[in-house]
């Protein structure tokens, strides 16, 4: 509802997978959609489905036609026998008695069309037409079988009194156990299951005012490998790779928005092409850069940002034998860095001593992505040999778990998510488009089918917000940020409202939670890199009582901007949970503690209307009130006079 496009998905009954077939743009906004019965279709023109779109002032037909060379003959492969809605499978009493039946089917071949009766009254029309009998002939075997089952059910289940009043069924031909079993099966089928509902279903994404933007960024790098997201923001610093010689990396401060000068922008000069980079989550002045010359350069940006171009890094890590395609800081321990190279190695570095701790083993093909577990104990990789490997780097350099991954053409992304962050969501690109899939980390087992998102060729980068269980997915060159709720209920991934931008973006990076404006129910904030600007996107949840702290939206959150333990402690095998804090502002009352409002009287309450007095009653009440105030006496003065005797009258 409200969309201006409609998507067609095909369900494969053999593989139980859903794939996107087409997306049709509509001229008007949709208020509602309805599908016509199969008997209405123009089968001799290849029309397999027809929808009707209800818009503001129109009802528009939307036919789905399969092209064929000729429509002179009926194409039976497009039109299997369909359920005939003109006949019920059983009457109400049969259904109450526990019978089951299948609706009869008919062929859509015009040669065998059923002729309808011209009777327009309310009488029940019996099926006596010869052609109709011929149409239902092919179902005689199945119907007889169903009738036998129904007869058996009716013989097993008979009502001693009313089935609805007493809910007691007795058996005529078999024991009580069978009767009880059948009753339970009927009751189970009658249970109504509601669909999944998420409080974040209608989240809203909105760009902040342009006064928050950093503008006039020129000459973005265009030759980054598919393993890199190409944009990183943490706290106040944003890192952007720039084109040109020398491997330039621009570093900008979000606290200093505005228009950049036309030239002479200070950068980090890496002397080799930049392939990937990451910002230290605990000290965002530290930036690690993986380069084309097989080296990793560690930079330290001044507190007030770059005021001049830096050409010498603090240190250079040497150890890989091929290009360094991925670098990732540890999420909980300070001065720990993981790096990936085309030499099929994953190395762990200690940045206190600038030394290699160890290299993870077991990869047999190019490593496409790497992800640290939020607790910092595990590390997961996905490689081109279609394998997901999970490592416990402190205790073993070999993978502790390994499982199959879907095939991908251009690259992949993965991140930890789900209950206690024990699931892994994988983003891949194949010949049919972009897909997401969920895995359980315990056995690296697939727990959801391959879900197609769209047909774009770029890789979906992933970000998971643990507090709201929301997965954000978008790619380079997209306008849309897709959002999903990750939930324990199958199929585990539920689509939420997406954010659509007016311009294409090159990358998106999410900020930490302490930068949110919770008074506006902002549960996520991201920086968006466009062709020339860095813009801020705010994701909020519509609420009515924004004067209260929405404690159902903001649970205690991880303090990701402070280290939990040192690198040495982590290497000793210590694992400490990250500290959690409340985002509740001082003096702001929780929504759960808010005083309850008294129920408001309905504007059009039937009781108040019935209790309304007529105009005459109101007039009488008004007169009585006025008379009461004036103390009017109804006796006349002459009534108080005393009469005289008759003798006193003069003649």
- Give 611's pLDDT tier (boundaries 50, 70, 90): low
- Give 602's pLDDT tier (boundaries 50, 70, 90): low
Q: How many CB atoms lie within 10 A of CB 559?
A: 15
Mean pLDDT of the chain: 82
Please tell me the predicted confidence (pLDDT) of residue 338: 96
pLDDT in tens, 253-274: 999 999 999 888 999 999 999 9
- Give 310's pLDDT tier (boundaries 50, 70, 90): very high
- Give 70's pLDDT tier (boundaries 50, 70, 90): confident
Please tell me the predicted confidence (pLDDT) of residue 377: 93
CA distances from 495 to 23, 196, 326, 498, 528 (A): 17, 11, 30, 8, 22
Q: E strands along 30-91, which residues? A: 32-35, 47-54, 59-65, 82-83
Mean pLDDT of 386-397: 94
**pLDDT at position 142 over 90:** no
Q: How would DSSP label each residue in 18-45?
A: EEEEEEEE-SS--SEEEE--GGGS-GGG
Please give the Cα distance from 332 to 372 (Å, whole number): 10
Please give the Cα distance from 125 to 87 (Å, whole number): 10
Which of 148-152, 484-488, 623-627 comes out lowest in average pLDDT? 148-152
Residue with tokens 């973005």: 220
Q: How many CB atoms lie within 10 A of CB 25?
A: 8
pLDDT in tens, 454-477: 888 899 999 999 999 999 999 999
3-state helix, strand, coil in the chain (%, to 5): 15, 35, 50
Name the CA radius of gyration of the chain, rounded. Answer: 37
User: Is-contact 12 3, C-beta < 8 A?
Assistant: no
Please tell me the predicted confidence (pLDDT) of residue 174: 37
**pLDDT at position 637 over 80:** no
CA distances from 256 to 299, 307, 634 (A): 21, 13, 88
User: Is-contact 501 207, C-beta < 8 A?
Assistant: yes
pLDDT in tens, 87-134: 788 888 888 888 888 888 888 888 776 554 444 443 443 444 444 444
Task: List, as own/partner pairs, every contact residues 15-20 make where C-beta atoms lie below 8 angstroms and the sequence separation is at least 24, other chains included.
Answer: 16/449, 17/449, 17/450, 18/449, 18/451, 18/452, 19/432, 19/452, 20/432, 20/433, 20/452, 20/454, 20/455
First to last CA, the chain: 104
DSSP secondary structure letter of residue 608 = H
Please tell me the predicted confidence (pLDDT) of residue 276: 96
Q: How many CB atoms lie within 10 A of CB 602?
A: 9
Please tell me the predicted confidence (pLDDT) of residue 563: 93
Kindly tell me the sign of the dihedral angle through the C-alpha atoms of 260, 262, 268, 274.
positive
Cα 455 to its chain centre, rounded Å, is 18
Q: Domain extents for the chain?
A: 5-83, 204-544
Q: How many CB atoms lie within 10 A of CB 9?
A: 10
Kindly tell me the sign of the dihedral angle through the C-alpha atoms of 495, 472, 451, 46.
positive
User: Residue 416, CB half-sphere, CA atoms under 13 Å: how many?
Assistant: 20
Q: How would DSSP label each residue in 459-480?
A: PEEEEEETTTTEEEEEETTEEE
Please tell me the predicted confidence (pLDDT) of residue 515: 94
Please give the Cα distance from 154 to 222 (Å, whole number): 73
**pLDDT at position 138 over 50:** no
- Give 633's pLDDT tier (boundaries 50, 70, 90): low
Question: Hey, what CATH topology would domain 204-544 get?
Answer: Methylamine Dehydrogenase; Chain H (2.130.10)
Q: Before 378, cis peptide (omega within 30)?
A: no
Cα 115 to its chain centre, rounded Å, is 47
Q: E strands along 226-365, which residues? A: 232-234, 237-242, 248-253, 258-259, 267-269, 274-279, 286-291, 295-300, 315-318, 324-329, 336-341, 346-350, 355-360
Please tell me the predicted confidence (pLDDT) of residue 373: 95
User: Is-contact 50 40, C-beta < 8 A?
Assistant: yes
């Amino acid at each position: 509802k409200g969309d201006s496009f409609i998507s067609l998905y095909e369900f494969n009954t053999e593989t139980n997978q859903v794939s996107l077939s087409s997306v049709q743009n509509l001229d008007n906004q949709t208020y509602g959609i309805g599908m016509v019965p199969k008997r209405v279709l123009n089968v001799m023109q290849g029309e397999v489905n027809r929808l009707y779109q209800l818009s503001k002032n129109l009802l528009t037909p939307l036919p789905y036609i399969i092209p064929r060379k000729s429509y002179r003959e009926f194409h039976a492969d497009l039109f299997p026998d369909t359920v005939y809605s003109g006949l019920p499978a059983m009457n109400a009493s049969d259904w109450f008695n526990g019978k089951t039946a299948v609706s009869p089917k008919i062929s859509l071949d015009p040669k065998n069309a059923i002729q309808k009766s011209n009777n327009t009254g309310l009488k029940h029309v019996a099926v006596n037409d010869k052609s109709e009998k011929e149409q239902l002939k092919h179902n005689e075997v199945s119907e007889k079988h169903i009738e036998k089952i129904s007869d058996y059910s009716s013989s097993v289940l008979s009502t001693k009194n009313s089935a609805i009043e007493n809910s007691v069924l007795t058996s005529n031909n078999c024991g009580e156990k069978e009767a009880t079993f059948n009753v339970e099966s009927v009751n189970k089928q009658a249970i109504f299951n509601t669909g999944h509902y998420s409080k974040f279903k209608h989240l809203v994404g909105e760009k902040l005012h342009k006064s928050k933007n950093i503008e006039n960024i020129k000459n973005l790098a265009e030759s980054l490998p598919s393993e890199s997201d190409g944009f990183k923001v943490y706290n106040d610093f944003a890192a952007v790779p720039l084109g040109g010689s020398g491997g330039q990396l621009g570093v900008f401060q979000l606290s200093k928005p505005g228009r950049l000068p036309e030239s002479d922008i200070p950068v980090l000069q890496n002397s080799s092409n930049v392939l990937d980079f990451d910002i230290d989550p605990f000290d965002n002045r530290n930036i690690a850069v993986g380069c084309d010359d097989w080296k990793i350069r560690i930079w330290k940006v001044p507190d007030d940002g770059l005021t001049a171009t830096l050409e010498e890094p603090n240190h250079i890590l040497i150890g890989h034998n091929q290009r360094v395609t991925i670098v990732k800081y540890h999420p909980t321990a300070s001065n720990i860095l993981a790096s990936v190279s085309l030499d099929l190695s994953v190395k762990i570095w200690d940045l206190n001593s600038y030394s290699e701790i160890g290299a993870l083993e077991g990869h047999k093909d190019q490593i496409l992505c790497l992800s640290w577990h939020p607790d910092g104990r595990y590390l997961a990789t996905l490689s081109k040999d279609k394998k997901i490997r999970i490592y416990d780097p402190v205790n073993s350099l070999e993978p502790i778990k390994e499982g199959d991954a879907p095939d991908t053409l251009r690259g992949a992304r993965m991140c930890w998510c789900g209950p206690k962050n024990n699931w892994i969501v994988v983003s891949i690109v194949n010949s049919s488009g972009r897909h997401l899939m969920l895995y359980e980390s315990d056995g690296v087992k697939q727990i959801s089918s391959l879900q197609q998102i769209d047909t774009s060729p770029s890789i979906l980068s992933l970000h998971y917000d643990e507090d709201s269980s929301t997965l954000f997915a978008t790619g380079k060159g997209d306008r849309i940020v897709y959002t999903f709720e990750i939930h324990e209920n199958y199929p585990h991934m539920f689509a939420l409202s997406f954010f659509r931008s007016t311009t294409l973006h090159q990358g998106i990076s999410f900020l930490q939670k302490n930068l949110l404006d919770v008074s506006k129910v902002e549960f996520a904030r991201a920086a968006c890199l466009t062709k020339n600007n860095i813009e801020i996107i705010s994701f909020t949840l519509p609420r009515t009582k924004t004067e209260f702290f929405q404690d159902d939206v903001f649970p205690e959150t991880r303090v990701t901007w402070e280290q939990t333990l040192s690198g040495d402690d982590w290497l000793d095998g210590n694992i400490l949970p990250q500290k959690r804090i409340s985002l509740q502002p001082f003096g702001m009352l929780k929504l759960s503690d808010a005083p309850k409002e008294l129920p408001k009287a309905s504007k059009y309450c039937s009781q108040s209307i019935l209790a309304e007095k007529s105009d005459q009653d109101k007039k009488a009440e008004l007169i009585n009130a006025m008379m009461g105030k004036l103390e009017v006496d109804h006796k006349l003065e002459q009534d108080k006079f005393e009469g005289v005797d008759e003798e006193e009258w003069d003649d």
